[in-house]
Structure 1
Amino acid sequence: MRLLFLAVLRPHTGNAVTAQRVRAHLEAAGHVCVLKDAFDFESPSEIANLILAENCEAALALHLYRGGRLLQGHRIPFGIIFGGTDVNEDANQKEKNTVMRRVLEEARFAVAFTESMKEMAQAQWPHAKGKIYVQSQGIATTPNAAFNWNTFLQRSEINQSADNLHVFLLICGLRQVKDPLYLVGAFSEWHQEEPSVYLVIVGPEVDPVFTREVKAKVKRASGVRLIGEMPQGDLHAVVKNCFAVVNSSVSEGMSAAILEAMDLEVPVLARNIPGNAAVVKHEVTGLLFSTPQVLNYSILVFIKYRGP
């Protein structure tokens, strides 16, 4: 089958990574997947022309609002994959919620990555209960074998021996929902007490205004570094070499960074929000924290028992 797949494809973001994974699964199953960036289109009429031009027989959208709204009114069947933004943010806006309800009325099926996401979607749109299913993400990590950890440390302006460092990695696009500033003050204080502890924030500059705020605060914080996006293989290598991966998001659907860290057998420290709690089992597959102070204790435990 020839499928049109709409997703937000901003480079080096979780959405883009997820879209590529879904496409790989579809193509492995024998389908032809025409992947397009939903932000390149403004109306369903543009999608109608694309469907004709690409001779698509069915369609799929990642995000009920961002992609799904563009699939309304066409003759081909379509399904949607919920994103965290759908149930955590867009559902709270009346106009968007109405559009999303109408999309679900037309969709043949809807996929949530976790049971908690499914429950939230069913509570918002009870008429769609019978068509919402759960399917976890498939993860395949491929660290770049040629990656040099010391080069990464130099790029991060960390001038210490790699043998004694405790580098915590926060992977996120610079936008408010990821809340990268939540832990900056705490890590800066911890670095002053324990100079081997660093927080490195890695990700693209998604929100220009917020990015300026992040850069200004990080510049004043000791022990905190900020670098731009990285190729996926290099990023996986960074994760493999770091002490632990941190997530401080206000909301998540299913964090690709957390799943990749788990696949690479790297410890995970995640903010205790529904999307993270659906993936991380506290003190079993990672640690959940509700405040920077709780994370402070977790770091001390990690350093004491895991060692350099």
Structure 2
Amino acid sequence: MSAAPSPTSAAEGPWTCFDVTIEEYVAHIRLNRPEAYNSMIRDFWNELPVIVRDINDNARARCIVISSTGKHFSAGMDLAVFGGGGSSAGEGGADRFITAEGQRHHVRWLQDCFSCLDQARMPVLVAIQGGCIGGAVDMTSACDIRYATEDAFFCVQEINIGMTADVGTFPRLCKLIPEGWVRELAYTGRRLPAGKAKEIGLVNEVFPTQEALLDHVMATAREIAEKSPLAVTGSKVMINYARDHTIADGLDYIAVWQTGMFAGSHMGEAFKAKAEKRPADFPDLKPLRNAM
């Protein structure tokens, strides 16, 4: 395996809501406000997409891990953020329809803050302990793979405060778990415990402690980082495309992708490394041209 990228990058902060480290090709983004249950204040929404896009655009890692601190993964969106795009009642006598149009753009901006996880070129793994509430469900549903502790639970909290979840929960959950479960969680605001979340496919595995959880997630991330970055990103692109299109469209797109990006030399290195019982040495993805 070629030398890992420098651990020093813009992604590593300092940040108000996160700690970020990049080691062994794995970027670890950790929510760091346990005293406030890692609620999503304004800084959270401003910082997360900058961190993820820096890692993505500059190819600073081959896999991203998101974890948290304290008793709960996240209590969700801080109520002060709801005022960021105006209120449905209008502000200062403003026309309510004009205000609503501005609010739509504010919601779209919030959605994009999590869509960057889905759109990242590298897989995003998330380790969830305790409560994963409201906006945290939106966030974790945008990740590639979810793991949890036995005490973890998921809650579509929005219905309990008189609103409809709008930052990504429903479009993504409906692709991850049976629709009946989405409807029950959405209509009732009940907690979905980790064991049931695993049973219905929302999380891949459940662990007795946060330490065991993180050990497994980081080991999985390092295993992914040992694979060909081009093959991994191609797999993510194809899985996302298949999720959003018909089977026929997916088959056609993978054929086009392979025509342009099938890397025989990467395959040869994989076979050679296996025969020689050593880690394979794959080239990293290149930084995007629009990256600084």
Using structure 2 for the length normalisation, give the TM-score: 0.28
Q: Which has the higher contact order (CA 8 A, sep 6+)?
A: 2
Structure with the higher fraction of residues in strand conformation: 1
